[in-house]
Amino acid sequence: MTFMSPLLPLPMPLAPLAWLTGFRRVPDNSVVTVHRFGRFIRALGPGWRWTLPGLDQLGQPVCLIGHHLSVVGGQGIQAELYYQILDPALAGEDLDDIDALVIREALPLLEGPIGAEALKVGMNQQLGPKGLRVIRCRVA
């Protein structure tokens, strides 16, 4: 029986070798940010990727699909947003805290009474250039 590393789908003796050579595996349907000296460099897509060992630091994996948020705006308006990340490169360093970005963009739209369709269109206009798309929303 071969023991597997929790980080890599390689047998335990090969996992440290992959780590030292800079090879990283990004899970399917996920993206990982790369930071060098504390600054955002790029986003890594799914699969095996090479990074500079010792210099590049990886963020937490972020799922590209299936995001759900509940946002409470002014006047007690509550909205449920379902969104996905279409282009991680456009989102850039905001990928590390993508939910905060969506909430920041949603709050000004929730200041007054708004319908679900108008909220979805407004959110997509604001988030489209950042590589995100609101799939569905519900306003209560």
- The pLDDT score that the predictor gives to residue 13 is 63
d(CA 136, CA 127): 14
- The pLDDT score that the predictor gives to residue 139 is 93
- Tokens 């996920």 belong to 30
| Domain covering 67-139 in this structure, CATH number | 3.30.479.30
CA atoms within 13 A on the CB side of 33: 20
- Read off the tokens for 35: 């930071």
CA 63 to chain centre: 6
Residue ranges per structural domain of the chain: 15-63, 67-139
- The pLDDT score that the predictor gives to residue 3 is 40
Give, for all 140 residues of the chain, the pLDDT tens digit: 344 344 555 555 666 666 677 888 899 999 999 999 989 999 999 999 989 988 899 999 999 999 999 999 878 889 999 999 999 999 998 999 999 999 999 999 998 888 999 999 999 999 999 999 999 999 98
Query: DSSP character for 10?
Result: S
CA atoms within 13 A on the CB side of 126: 17
Number of H helices, E strands in the chain: 4, 9
Beta strands in the chain (DSSP E): 23-26, 30-36, 39-44, 47-50, 56-58, 62-63, 67-72, 78-85, 132-139
Question: Is the full-model pTM beyond 0.75?
Answer: yes
The strand pairing partners of 132, in sequence order, are 85
